[in-house]
């Protein structure tokens, strides 16, 4: 499969080149040249397929023959080595729990898939890649864990100082080996801007920089698996299916929309956001007007200018009326989120962390528009990742899962930087 740059459709590369480059030389995000519907037989038979089989069917057209089938299946097996339970929260409302992986964040899947693709592409070469990742919270930990010890890959993680939780910070600053954490005096958008600038910097060309943010197709595309897994469970109800994704960079929801384009019977999507409401405002008035990010209790979604939104625009030819047939977006305040977390807990006993609660709010709102529908929201992190918010809000004490316990007593190691010049000096040194 070839991919083109969203800045220039004639700028085409292979899957391998797109993964290794991250971003096109002209700054555009890569986008698949074609989307082929999966067969009716696949959907008719999906309940009999394992998650590895479903994932293979979904991803194979995007990889083509660039990774042999047997290797790709092994990559998928290693990527999907944990569960994705769909938990009933109340009548017709389910939580798709994406937090059962090694770092308890949904980004484990994309990070594990991408690291193994890179390792495959580097298998015979003495080449080294440097993976840069800007994180507002969970990406850093998932990438650190997913890439730890992967041959020929150095990982540099940038995170905004003081703006990620203690657990998140430990997950990305304590691993060592090929993983380095840079603590940026700024907000997430500053980290993301530095990463983007580094890709365009001719002085850094020899570093073979690539990105492990969802701008990288190998981080982004495997996220579509979740939607297939949930459909497998919900198909039997035979009702209009509504999906709500708590959204920050809009990679997850964009992968879901790709799944729909492949034929997955999802009736409608909602992108639920916190106060960072660039997309809800766009859908309301047609003006795409990004703002600096605002700090909220769902900090992994504190993104002022969602990097994947251009991919969604591409999917709908940037036509607002086309968007609205498949897709809505709502914004919720921290007060609404906290109120709903308590409500869900009191009424159902389910513990939702802030991102999941934002997803739940959007789902409930959208389901009112669809008679007799069924729906799920993505629960994108384990509540323990946001214990500072969850414990006081619900007046509960959360037990610490083993995946988290293992990083809590490790020593934090990070380097402080404030400007792009600092960052560049670090990369060259
Ligand atoms: C990254 C993240 C999100 C947002 O996902 P996008 O694909 O960037 O929209 C939501 N919740 C959590 C916990 C995350 O880590």
Q: Which residues in the chain land under pLDDT 70?
A: none
Domain membership of residue 119 (yes or no) is: no
**CATH number, position 326:** 3.40.50.1100
Residue 136: the pLDDT is 77
* Residue 158: predicted pLDDT: 96
Closest CA to 36 of 295, 358, 259, 246: 259
**pLDDT value of residue 53:** 98
pLDDT of residue 166: 85
Does 413 reside within a domain? no
CA distances 388 to 222, 379, 391, Å, are 30, 17, 6
Q: Is 299 in the pocket of ligand 1 (CB under 6 A)?
A: no
Q: Does residue 380 fall inside a structural domain?
A: yes
Q: Is residue 198 one of the residues assigned to a domain?
A: no
Does residue 187 fall inside a structural domain?
no
On whether residue 156 sits in a domain, the answer given is no
pLDDT the model gives residue 124: 81
Report the atom number in ligand 1 closest to the C-alpha of 252: 7
Nearest CA to ligand 1 atom 2: 300
Q: Is the CB of 354 under 6 A from ligand 1?
A: no
Q: Is 380 in the pocket of ligand 1 (CB under 6 A)?
A: yes
Is 107 catalytic? The answer is: yes
Query: Is 264 inside any structural domain?
Result: yes
51, 60, 107, 232: the active-site residue: 107
**Atom in ligand 1 nearest the alpha carbon of residue 248:** 9
Domain carrying residue 325: 83-104+220-399
In the chain, how many domains are there? 1
Confidence (pTM): 0.94
In a domain, 25, yes or no: no
């Amino acid at each position: 499969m070839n991919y083109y740059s969203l800045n220039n459709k004639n700028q085409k590369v292979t899957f391998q080149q797109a993964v290794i480059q991250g971003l096109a030389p002209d700054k555009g995000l890569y986008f698949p040249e074609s989307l082929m519907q999966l067969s009716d037989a696949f959907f008719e038979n999906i309940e009999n397929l394992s998650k590895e089989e479903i994932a293979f069917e979904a991803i194979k057209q995007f990889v083509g023959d660039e990774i042999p089938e047997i290797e790709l299946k092994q990559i998928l097996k290693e990527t999907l080595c944990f569960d994705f339970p769909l938990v009933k929260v109340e009548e017709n409302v389910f939580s798709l729990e994406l937090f059962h992986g090694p770092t308890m964040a949904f980004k484990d899947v994309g990070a594990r898939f991408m690291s193994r693709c890179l390792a495959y592409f580097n298998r015979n070469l003495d080449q080294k890649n440097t993976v840069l990742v800007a994180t507002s919270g969970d990406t850093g930990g998932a990438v650190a864990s997913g890439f730890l010890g992967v041959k020929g890959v150095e990982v540099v993680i940038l995170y905004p100082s003081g703006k990620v939780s203690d657990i998140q910070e430990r997950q990305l600053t304590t691993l060592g080996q090929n993983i380095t954490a840079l603590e940026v005096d700024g907000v997430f958008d500053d980290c993301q801007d530095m990463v983007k600038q580094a890709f365009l910097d001719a002085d850094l060309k020899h570093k073979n920089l690539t990105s492990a943010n969802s701008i990288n197709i190998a981080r982004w595309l495997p996220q579509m698996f979740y939607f297939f897994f949930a459909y497998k469970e919900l198909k039997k109800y035979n009702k209009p299916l509504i999906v709500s994704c708590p959204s920050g960079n809009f990679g997850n929801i964009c992968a879901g929309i790709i799944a729909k384009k492949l034929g997955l019977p999802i009736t409608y999507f909602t992108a639920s956001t916190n106060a960072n409401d660039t997309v809800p405002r766009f859908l309301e008035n047609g003006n795409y007007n990004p703002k600096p990010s605002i700090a909220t209790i769902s900090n992994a979604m504190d993104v002022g200018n969602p990097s994947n939104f251009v991919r969604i625009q591409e999917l709908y030819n940037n036509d607002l009326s086309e968007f609205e047939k498949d897709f809505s977006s709502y914004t919720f305040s921290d007060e609404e989120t906290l109120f709903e977390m308590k409500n869900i807990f009191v009424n159902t006993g389910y513990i939702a962390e802030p991102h999941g609660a934002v997803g739940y709010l959007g789902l409930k709102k959208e389901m009112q528009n669809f008679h007799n529908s069924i729906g799920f929201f993505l629960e994108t992190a384990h509540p323990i990742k946001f214990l500072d918010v969850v414990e006081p809000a619900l007046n509960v004490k959360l037990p610490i899962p083993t995946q988290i316990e293992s990083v809590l007593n490790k020593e934090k190691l990070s380097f402080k930087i404030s400007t792009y010049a600092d960052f560049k000096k670090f990369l060259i040194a």
